[in-house]
Chain A
Amino acid sequence: MRQPKTDYIFLFSIFALITIGTIMVFSASPTMGLKVGDTYFFIKRHLFYLLLGLCGLYFALRCDLELLRKWAFAIYAFSMILLLLLFVPGVGRQVLGATRWINLGLISFQPSELIKFSMIVILARLLSDLGEGIVDFLHGLLPILVLIGLTAIIVILQPDLGTAIAIVLISVILLFVAGIRLAHLGFLLGSGLLAVIALSLTSPYRLRRLTAFLDPWKDPQGSGFQIIQSLLAVGSGGWHGLGLGASRQKYFYLPQQFTDFIFAILGEELGFIGGVVVIILFIIFIVRGLKIALSQHNHFCSLLATGIVSWLALQTLMNIMVVIGLLPTTGIPLPFISYGGTSTIVNLFAVGILINISLWPGKESKAKAK
């Protein structure tokens, strides 16, 4: 029997990250807010999304995990329908050349954020059902690979390569944790890498992003602009930063300064020290989050927790690596910190599930203990 108890350090890391995020949105968004006529426009919205997210978190805490397991296919199907709706003319809202939002009037909803969660749920269900069967390639692994591939392809068609890569990586992590044979894993990673290269080469805008990432100074006014501006922001922060609110790059030099590139403004204002504090908070969240997976004997719940933590960890890594020029621009927000409606709500909902898992004794383990 496992004695569920609340992990306060884990909760603190989440709380601290959300607080820092809110402060940074407060600092980085007014320049853009002025453009739409209200300095506090984005802060108000951010607080509103946080409120919705907390509702989501409460709902996730209260929901029955067994029910989640049972409804895994339905949730996945629902997410897929939303995703496919984007291809219906008039429903999707196009931003920056990609159709990723469903317009709900007051707010827009991003189905790709939901599909990541649904993908984790369905994989946790399938893999926990499969158990040791995963070692069998044809009857165990292949159907799951087909599912992953299909989902990824639909996301790519939006086009949203960043999310597709995230989905594939989360899936690979879940396969790894679920006990995939290392030979199969090696084969998968190899072919995945080839697929990414092929996709990058077939779309001129992806290729431009890739080359810009390798040598941004070649075209400082064009494709290299954003990464250069991001590096200027981070670099000018130094040890302790220019001080909260003192960013210069947020004055329209750095695009997406309070969404995907908020970490650059954080680095500029709070410096190396501030950046490292945030990274340590993320490490605490991830390590403690995976501890939940470790301590959970229910296979579904353990995989679900691993999936959720890995998802947020991957997004954190990818986002920061883009900001500091280690990855090409992908369009992935920083969990808990970036401004963004859907991601804030879905992240908090997922955190609610995590806490729920940590508090749940787990039926399967009971059954096995008998």
Chain B
Amino acid sequence: MQNKQRITVLINIFVCLFVVIILRLAYIQIVKHKFYLQKSQDQRTQIIKLASQRGDILDCQGNLLATSIDTYSVYEYKKGWVERKLSKEEAEKLVAEKPKERSIIRERKRVYPNDGLLAQTLGFVGIDNQGLSGLELSFDKYLHGKEGQVITEGDPRGRELYGAVRELEAGEDGMDLTLTIDENIQYVAERELARQVKESQAISGTCIVMDAKNGEILALASLPGFDPNNYGQANPKLWHPRFLDPYEPGSTFKLITVAAGLAAEVITPDSKLKKLESITVGGKVIKNSHAMNFPGSSVTVSKVLEQSLNTGVAQIGLMLGQERFYNYLKKFGLGEKTNFGLWGESAGVVRHWQQWYKPDIVMMTFGQSLSVTPLQLMQAVSAFANQGVMIEPILVKKIESQDKHFVKSLSQKYGRQAVPAKIADEMKTLMRNVVLYGSGRRAAIKGFAVGGKTGTAQKAKPHGGGYLEGHYIASFIGFAPLNNPRIIALVIVDDPRGSIWGESVCGPVFSRVVEYCLRYLNAVPDML
């Protein structure tokens, strides 16, 4: 029967088709097995990042300035973060609203226990604990550590599979940063500065305290500041550490001019200079800020500093000449970064002498037509406290891994010999005279001999082209005790109202802060 034959044909066709299927299965499952297995693994492999523990920032006594705490963030499926870094109760409340879609993820949050203290120096971190400003940014490489990760298997929605194979790659915690800052000195410096800034209705103020022996910065106050715990609420302009920027130092710079004059032997401490009401250089008329209410037709070098006579230092500048004066400026490290630790430091502006305009040679003698950073000026003046050797300022003392296996100590580097030791001692006496008899009287400290210099600089217009009328930067730089200097401090108040003079605005701040430091450090009084 024909039908039966055809059924047999049908059987054969079916069996043949199944053989094709078996061959195809063999190809997929045996020949291409590794390829498909890999593809399948790749698509379900999920990497869960494990945040590393960010290193702490400590002061020189080991007090916490920045640390991290556990917080709880709420994540919603497909929508992402709902809110991050909440307390446990707050997070649980948010999850309870949509328990199926939301889950809690533990995260570390950066906190600054002292709120605004040292804010601009410390800086802050972003929501993912990445350094954004200040030390948090400059030392992010060390503080951040290395993220760990869990490699696991997930479904297309990202949820982990049941019985997923997990693989853990441990991360590395960040390192701790120990600063040279002393929390207590920082606090006093900020307190005294804040009082003065408020009293003077000034725009801002800076007060830097440095160990005169080793360059360790003990306080870096810059006001107004902000609270890095809530940096988003502050004006972003306040985030920036002001002391990184250059300013025209004004009369404090006369110290450098006199030291250069002494070192170049164009003057001696006993030299007599002409007592001039004004001096004209390159068509520019230079005058003194005060009337000279003392007798005689000449002035001593000491008197020039005590009375802060522009016409006096101008004569020294003219005696030095452009090239020689410029070389001394370079010797004092001006126009070069100090590299004390924070990113974004300015090098200041000291133009090459061949580019100077005619009056520049005298303008610079009293700190105009050039700009320096506060730390450059302190570094330069530190030479007078240390037999002519400049001390480079440092801010970070030690970088240390959590397990103490990695330690990097950063000690101070002795800078260049700016002037001979003899000149440094002569400068000490001259600075002493300023505080004893001259414009620096209000910087005096009971029991200690103080040397220093005031400054009252006209504010340069922001985009060049002369100076603002009625706006000044008052400052005072000095060190103590005189015979064995322990502390160098610089106080700057920007645009004070009422009294504008460095002596009355900055002298008292210097006096109170440095007195606190000396007593805090158990310095031996040298003027009983």
Contacts and interface: CB of A to CB of B under 8 A. Distances in A.
A283 B14 CA distance: 8
B410 interface: no
Contact of A287 (B11, B17, B43, B155): B11
Interface stretch (B18-26, B307-315, B319-327, B392-400): B18-26
Contacts of B11: 286-287, 290
A279 B26 CA distance: 13
Most chain A beta-carbon neighbours within 10 Å: one of B8, B33, B161? B33
A275 B155 contact: no
Contacts of A302: 3
Given A178-B3, A232-B39, A313 B30 contact: no
Most chain A beta-carbon neighbours within 10 Å: one of B26, B28, B44? B28
A233 B156 CA distance: 15
Interface stretch (A67-75, A110-118, A148-156, A236-244): A236-244
Where chain B touches its partner, the secondary structure class is helix
Contacts of A326: 20-21, 24
B4 A276 contact: no
A310 B35 CA distance: 35
Contacts of A179: 2-3, 6
Nearest to A241: B29
A262 interface: no
B285 interface: no
Contacts of A310: 10
Nearest to B31: A235
A238 B44 CA distance: 18
B437 interface: no
B30 A239 contact: yes
A258 to B, nearest CB: 16
Interface residues of B, number: 37
Contacts of B35: 235
B43 A282 contact: no
Given A252-B156, A286-B14, A287-B11, A238 B2 contact: no
A282 B14 CA distance: 10
Interface residues of A, number: 44
Given A238-B33, A283-B15, A276 B22 contact: yes
A245 B22 CA distance: 23
A302 B35 CA distance: 47
Nearest to B6: A177
B36 interface: yes
B32 interface: yes
Contacts of B40: 232-233, 235-236, 248-249, 253
B29 A275 contact: yes
Contact of B17 (A236, A251, A317): A317
Contacts of B41: 236
Contacts of B155: 251-253
A53 interface: no
A306 interface: yes
Most chain B beta-carbon neighbours within 10 Å: one of A233, A237, A251? A251
A313 B17 CA distance: 10
A286 B39 CA distance: 36
Where chain A touches its partner, the secondary structure class is helix
B511 to A, nearest CB: 73
A332 interface: no
B36 A232 contact: yes
Nearest to A314: B14
B157 interface: yes
A286 B21 CA distance: 15
Contacts of A313: 14
B46 to A, nearest CB: 12
B7 interface: yes
Nearest to B163: A246
Contacts of A238: 29-30, 33, 37
A253 B6 contact: no
B8 to A, nearest CB: 8
Contacts of B14: 283, 286-287, 313, 317
A121 interface: no
Contacts of B157: 252
Contacts of B30: 238-239, 272
B435 to A, nearest CB: 78
A306 B14 CA distance: 12
B29 A272 contact: yes
B153 interface: yes
A294 interface: yes
Contact of A234 (B10, B17, B28): B28
Interface string A248-261: 11011100000000
A173 interface: yes
Contacts of A249: 40
A224 interface: no
A271 B30 CA distance: 9
A239 to B, nearest CB: 6
Contacts of B28: 231, 234-235, 267, 324-325
Nearest to A249: B40
A83 interface: no
B29 A267 contact: yes
Nearest to A310: B10
A173 B43 contact: no
B155 to A, nearest CB: 4
A312 to B, nearest CB: 10
Contacts of B2: 179
Contacts of B37: 235-236, 238
A241 to B, nearest CB: 9
Interface of B: 2-4, 6-8, 10-11, 14-15, 17-18, 20-22, 24-26, 28-30, 32-33, 35-37, 39-41, 43-44, 153, 155-157, 161, 163
Given A173-B10, A235-B29, 14 more contacts: A177-B6, A234-B36, A235-B32, A235-B33, A235-B39, A251-B44, A252-B155, A275-B25, A283-B15, A286-B11, A293-B7, A317-B14, A326-B20, A326-B24
10 contacts: A179-B2, A232-B39, A234-B25, A236-B36, A237-B33, A239-B33, A251-B156, A252-B156, A299-B3, A313-B14
Q: Which 4 A-B pairs have the closest CB atoms?
A: A235-B36, A251-B155, A232-B40, A236-B37
